[in-house]
A and B are shown apart, each in its own frame.
Chain A
């Protein structure tokens, strides 16, 4: 079955004053995708989401959702999307029930359909026991679930979630992503932003954003495959000296300090590369605590690609 495009961004740019938040972005999102927008703070994720949600107009280019232009047909776009902003957009003084009912009113969901949907969403979000609780008194994770439930009340064709797991504990984060996976399995199209690289692995496709530009846009596995290298992680007594030595080793593609460890991405094509690293360190009399191969994660791939991008920019 050929993939049908739901969201289309054509050469989209957005400036604030003289700062470019988004530059020349062209992306297609197909129906049924769980599409991740990954990038550090300030990469332009929120600006991008606001433009797709039709609450912010692009400075250049066009965005269409289901064929509707987000500027010319903003209201049509708003009808078919469920948007959950990064800041808690619900009313703290209204109960869970009242917030959901308000969303249903806004989207014109009434009667039997409304009762069914609300019952479904209570089960889905596990918020049933907290119906009467003011939304302001919910835990961080439950607030996000309520946000998701209200965004789903009209079964939108496109779900837009802006950093739904920021500031949520790891267990609640996993729970939230389980909900997203369920939705994905049921065919809901979702665009979700996150600064957490591990979450990118659960998306069907991701775009890596850095300073408003696309670094890569592909399936998570394909993005990792772009890095023609493998990862070893090093722990040594004198990390600074180790780093100085390794910067001279030719087969090393990238060095990524990570807490008190150093992730070394080396060229896997070159035979015996890991031995080169070990000998180089030993020659310099650096005591190695541990040096072992680890699988490549999104984290390393992203950092590698960003470093490559920066290198190209400076050249």
Chain B
């Protein structure tokens, strides 16, 4: 009987998903689309940042330096000014992010062997792009200074100049695919919050549209009801897992060193835990909009900041670390990163796998336990004050509304 019920509910839920274009998109290409947007934002570089130049030297060396800066793709010289004071106005109007001041004696090596440095003023409002601009200007100025020394002193120049700056620093702030490797396996876990959000909304929708009243009046087993609703979402979730895996491989060259079987097992555990949490939310919240908001809060915000995708979880206070274990994404990130990149076997990741299994069973059982096969009637909000004369009429009407 429970199997018949489970299959009946699953089939019905599958029809709902397939026949509603919105839900279908959300659970099929939704995670893939979100991943593309995310990775694009993560890897986007600073380009053509507007920079003003104040050339106080106006000599061959300074013109040469400006020409070098002009060829950069990171910065673009938009203004040529006479005094540093003029730059302030442009900063205020957000027209430039940096101003470069070339000193009067630029290009001349002094008696003590030094050269007057190029000054830079940077708008630090956006630290990441500011850093990229600083690095670019320093790099160009340093290279230019080096050239001047070499021209003046020949091969001996290396004795005076600091060791050449390597371009490694640039990569750090213009995250290229190397960094994406680190994020990608964790991001897969975050994207798989979408099916859970869709499930929470589906349950809330069934209640909101009055369909649950008919269903709870039948002898259907509540375990079959909740598991049956979840099953198609596990299926679509696995489809997403493989799509994301293939996309990582083909589009971003993310290596996959681990066992596909082990990854499948972990992904199923993770999906069941995530969807169980989604069900638990929907058992208590029977309004679609509120369920969606709560689900977004639960499935995106904590995993983003605290599951270890971007910020190392070891650096967090122990209480946060322990709390984050309640979110299935944390364990999934902890398992899938080494599994993806180093091919680590599950026997070395058993602790996180056990937590995932525990969460999967725990959330499901909690949802089944908390679910009541009854009609939930919302009482009029006691905090909503109405005029005394109106009160009786209003509460009477609310009850009628609730009763219908």
Contacts and interface: CB of A to CB of B under 8 A. Distances in A.
Interface in B386-404: 395-400, 402-404
A154 B193 CA distance: 39
Given A19-B395, A21-B399, A87 B4 contact: no
A194 B371 CA distance: 31
Contact of A17 (B15, B217, B219, B379): B379
Interface in B235-260: none
A83 B395 contact: no
A105 B377 CA distance: 28
A45 B216 CA distance: 19
Contact of B217 (A19, A44, A57, A81): A81
Contacts of B399: 16-17, 19, 21, 42
Interface stretch (A26-34, A106-114, A263-271): A106-114
A89 B215 CA distance: 8
B15 A85 contact: no
A55 B213 CA distance: 8
Contacts of A44: 403
Contacts of A79: 219
Interface residues of A, number: 41
Interface stretch (A90-98, A225-233, A305-313): A90-98
B217 A55 contact: yes
Contacts of A17: 379-380, 382, 395, 399
Contact of B20 (A42, A47, A56, A93): A93
A88 interface: yes
A47 B403 contact: yes
A165 interface: no
A55 B375 contact: yes
A107 B396 contact: no
A74 interface: yes
B147 interface: no
B12 A94 contact: yes
B373 interface: yes
B219 A107 contact: yes
A46 B379 contact: no
A41 B397 CA distance: 10
B60 interface: no
Interface string A52-75: 011111000000000000000011
Given A85-B210, A85-B213, A110-B4, A16 B379 contact: yes
B384 interface: no
Nearest to A56: B375
Contacts of A224: none
A87 B400 contact: no
Contacts of B220: 106
B211 interface: yes
A78 interface: yes
B400 A42 contact: yes
Nearest to B375: A55
B218 A46 contact: no
A86 B404 CA distance: 7
Contact of B4 (A53, A83, A84, A108): A108
A177 interface: no
Given A16-B402, A102-B8, A93 B374 contact: no
Interface string B148-178: 0000000000000000000000000000000
Given A85-B210, A89-B211, A98 B15 contact: yes
A87 B1 CA distance: 28
Interface in B1-58: 1, 4-5, 7-8, 11-12, 15-16, 19-20
Given A18-B395, A86-B404, A93 B213 contact: no
B214 interface: yes
Given A55-B213, A105-B4, A94 B15 contact: yes
B377 A16 contact: yes
Interface in A216-254: none
B375 A78 contact: no
A133 interface: no
A93 B380 contact: no
A50 interface: yes
A53 B375 CA distance: 10
Contact of A91 (B211, B218, B375, B382): B211
Contact of A88 (B7, B210, B216, B373): B210
A56 B374 contact: yes
Contacts of B219: 75, 78-79, 106-107
Given A46-B404, A74-B373, A54 B395 contact: no
Which of A79, A98, A107 has the largest number of chain B CB atoms within 10 A?
A: A107
Nearest to A46: B403
Contact of A87 (B15, B213, B377, B396): B213
A91 B19 CA distance: 12
B15 A93 contact: yes
A86 B400 CA distance: 13
Nearest to A51: B375
Contacts of A54: 217
B16 A50 contact: no
Interface of A: 16-19, 21, 41-42, 44-47, 50, 53-57, 74-75, 78-79, 81, 83-91, 93-94, 98, 102-103, 105-108, 110
CB-based closest 10 A-B pairs: A89-B214, A105-B8, A87-B210, A42-B400, A83-B217, A46-B403, A79-B219, A93-B19, A85-B213, A55-B375
Given A17-B382, A50-B213, A108-B1, 9 more contacts: A17-B395, A56-B374, A57-B374, A75-B373, A85-B217, A90-B211, A91-B16, A105-B5, A107-B218
